[in-house]
Structure formats: C-alpha cells, structure tokens
Amino acid sequence: MRSSRPRAKRKKKPLILTAGVALAGLSLGVPALTAGATATEEAAPHAPAACDAPDERIYQVPGSAPAEPGSVIACRPTALPHVPGNIPMRAWKVQYSSKNNAGRPVAVSGTVAVPEAQWKGRGSRPVVAFNPGTLGLGSQCAFSKQLAGEFQDAYEGENIAALLKSGYAVAATDGAGYLDGQTHPYVSGADAGHALLDIVRSAPAIPGSGLDPKTKVGLWGYSEGGAASLWAAQLAATYAPELKVVGDASGGVPGDLKVVAKALNGGPFAGFMVDAVLGLSSAHPQMPFDELMNDQGKETLKKARSHCLAGTVSTLAGQKIEDNTKDRLSLEQLYALKGADGRTWGQIVDEQKLGAGIGRAGSGAAYEIDFPVLQYRGELEEVIPAETEDATRKAYCAAGVTTQWKTYPGEHLTTDQLAKDDAVRWLGDRFEGRPEFGNCLAP
C-alpha cells in the first residue's frame, strides 16, 4: 500500500500565517486565522477563529482539504448524551484534514472532549486518541453523531466516560468516509492510522480546548478500532513523529484479513466481510469491484451502505462472496484479480496485515515502535478468529516490541467492556511514566 510505506522524517519549519495567507485559505474553504496569527509545527497551520460551524457543515465534503494533516476545517460545540455519568466537559464535533492511503489530503470528522475538572497529574493533560469498533457504513453511523445522540447503535460510550473520569482528553475519530456521499474505507490500515493520528494533531487547535500540542498521547481501540489503533502505532514514528505517543491499547484485533474473511464468509457475521470488501474497494478505486457484482451483489452492497451495526449483522448474515459475484468467484479467485496498477486484490489485502515489518526503535524496520503496546482478546471470541489475534501478538513479541497480553472470559462484544477499566489504567501508567516490561516470555 503506497501510503503505509514509511516516509523519511522531515523537520518542519515554523509557519507564519499572515493575513494574506489566511485570506487565501478562505478560497479553499479553509477557516482563516486572524491577521498576524502565527503557527508552528505544534499547532495546525489552519485553525478556525471560532467554533461555530452549523452541524451539517461538519459532514459536508469541503472544496479541498488542507494539505497539512491535522488542520481544523470546521468545528462546533456539542453535547454527548451517549457518554454516561453526566461528566462535566467541553466537547466539539470537528472536521479535520488527514491523508488517505495514497497520500492525498482528505477531510475526516470526529469528536474532541475535555473534562472540566482540573488536571492534577504529571505535565499537561494527556490525550487519548480513540477509534470506535465497527459501527456500519451508513452515514448515520458516524461515531460523532451517535455520541451526540442523533442515532443509537454505538456501544462504547462507557469507554469515553472512563477516559474523561480519569481526567484525560479524548480525540475520537469517526474514521474517514463518513462525510456526505462517501464510503468508509473499512479495514484499510493506512486510512485508519492516519485519521486517528491526525485528530490528535487537530485537538489543540480547537478554540477553547486548552490542550498542549506537546502533551503525552495514548492510542486505544477495539475490534475495527483495535486494528486502527495498532496501525496508528505502526505509523506514528514516520507519519506523526512530533506526537509524544507513550502507549497503545488494542483489543479484538483482526490482524490478518484473509484469515478473517475465510471465517466470516457465509457465517452469522458475514456482514463484516461485506463491509470489508466494500471498504477496501472504496480505498482502492483502481481495483476491479462493481463490475464483478451480480444483481444479488448489488443489492447486498446497497444494504451494507445504508445500515449500522445491528442492521449489518441481521440483514447480511449468511452472505457468501460466491453468491454475490457474476461468475461465483471464490475469495481465492478474487485475490488473484489485478487492478490498473498491476497489483492483485490479494496483495492489497496482505498489505493490511498487522505485525509485518515492525521492530523496535532503531531496528531499521519499516514500522519502528518506541513505546509499549497492550493487546487483548476474549476467550470466547466468536467473530475474529483467535488464531489471527494470537498471531499478531506473537509477531509483536518476535519483533522485540514491548507487549502486554491479556485475555478475558467473554465473547467479542462483552470483552470490550470487560477490558475497559484495565485499558484505561494501563494507559494511565504510561502517562505517569511507569515502566512496562511486557509478558512476551510468559507461557
């Protein structure tokens, strides 16, 4: 995948935004800074003078996204009724710039929340970059909309509450592809990793957030979110070297999509496979896809594009890839098909595999990771094959990345909540500078 290849580190020069540059930004649909404002590499080059965009603006595709990742395009205050506990906070919906898997600027939506309680820990208030688990591809499924109470199919409001109660700011991305007329690039590693890192970059630029761009950052996600946060961990050193990432907690990780697809095809959770093929086709438009679908396949894709989590599982259960393609193509036959750039679908799917090309800082690996990771799964896992979750953990251990591993007595969905408090405590230990030695040597 072009965008997931590490890029050479560049030291950015401070950017001085004069009134002329700010006015130029308006022509691109980018909110302008006030005349004479300055920005350095610690603050996004573009930030709104006020957070007063109408709600629909957050989800509109801008004329062009700023080239600088993490630039705030639009924002607005919001309430988060789906975060339980009546926690005093300030929260915003935000649209910010990121880069897709081909390195082109894109706009992404998300939520930033900061507790009202004074931070009493070390240094400045830390930020946790949070990626939700699978919510579905319908535009109404965006995590920022669900947290704000516009639709209810999300299940991780308590995760956000646990972070806020601990005093941490939260930067929760929707992930790319939830703006009007788009398709979420579900399970595309670079798209997900970029979007998660870039919402952290954007958070300090939101007027009133009070966040320090140099503060410590934690990454967290489960299921689809676990894959996204682990991709963010792998890409952090090259894509966002200025961020002080101190740890990543990733659970329920679909590390090898070929293993996952084989298990899901024709089963009760086949909807997730449909979302995956649709998401990867959105991320790689040069690959053959729409022309392969028969009438059933077209109807299946229509359902996938409109449903959230519950609808995806219930309406697409039992779907087989063979029944949805014109020539009853198997997964293996699909993997052999080539796109306009000469790559096969199999190569693109393999490029999403987690744990490949990783190593400790200074190892020379494609993806160097200089902070510890926590990985976990349920002992009764029924959605993601345990073999690929275990394999991802083993790959990290073999690469010398400090890894803590835990299992919980739950199935896929309940494990997310069973692990919640442990994950928050583990991130808290990283923020406090406590050492993590991992348990790779444990039997």
Give the pLDDT confidence score for residue 22 in this predicted structure.
Answer: 30
Percent of the chain with pLDDT over 70: 89
Give the pLDDT confidence score for residue 178 in this predicted structure.
Answer: 98
Look up tokens 């506990």; give the residue: 85
Domains and CATH numbers, the chain: 15-255+356-431 (3.40.50.1820), 259-350 (1.10.260.130)
Q: What is d(CA 101, CA 277) in angstroms, rounded to the nearest whole number?
A: 16
Interval 333-354: pLDDT, tens: 999 999 999 999 999 999 999 9
Q: What is the chain's mean pLDDT, rounded?
A: 90
Give the pLDDT confidence score for residue 225 in this predicted structure.
Answer: 98
- What is the reported pTM? 0.89
Residues 6+ apart with CB under 8 A from 56: none
- How confident is residue 88, by pLDDT bands cut at 50, 70 and 90? very high
What is the residue type of 136? Answer: G
- How confident is residue 265, by pLDDT bands cut at 50, 70 and 90? very high
- How confident is residue 46, by pLDDT bands cut at 50, 70 and 90? low
Three-state DSSP state, 130: strand
CA-based diameter of the chain, in Å? Answer: 62
Retrieve residue 140's tokens: 């109404």
Look up tokens 């894109």; give the residue: 106
Sign of CA pseudo-dihedral 171, 172, 173, 178: negative
CB neighbourhood size of 306 (10 A): 16
Give the pLDDT confidence score for residue 31 in this predicted structure.
Answer: 31
> Running DSSP on this structure, what letter comes out for residue 101?
T
Helix axes 295-306, 270-283, angle to 10 degrees: 90
The residue count for the chain: 443
Residues 6+ apart with CB under 8 A from 308: 135, 136, 138, 140, 141, 151, 153
Alpha-carbon distances of 58 from 95, 142, 174, 332, 392, rounded to whole Å: 5, 11, 12, 40, 35
Retrieve residue 297's tokens: 């396949």
Three-state DSSP state, 96: strand
Partners of 72 in beta bridges: 96
Q: What is d(CA 143, CA 140) in angstroms, rounded to the nearest whole number?
A: 9
Three-state DSSP state, 313: helix
> Running DSSP on this structure, what letter comes out for residue 193?
H
Percent of the chain with pLDDT over 90: 87
Retrieve residue 193's tokens: 């990793």
| Whether the Cβ atoms of residue 371 and residue 237 lie closer than 8 Å to each other | no
Interval 173-195: pLDDT, tens: 999 999 999 999 999 999 999 99
Q: What is d(CA 228, CA 175) in angstroms, rounded to the nearest whole number?
A: 9
5-14, 97-106, 294-303: least confidently modelled range: 5-14
| Whether the Cβ atoms of residue 218 and residue 433 lie closer than 8 Å to each other | no
Look up tokens 């909110």; give the residue: 31
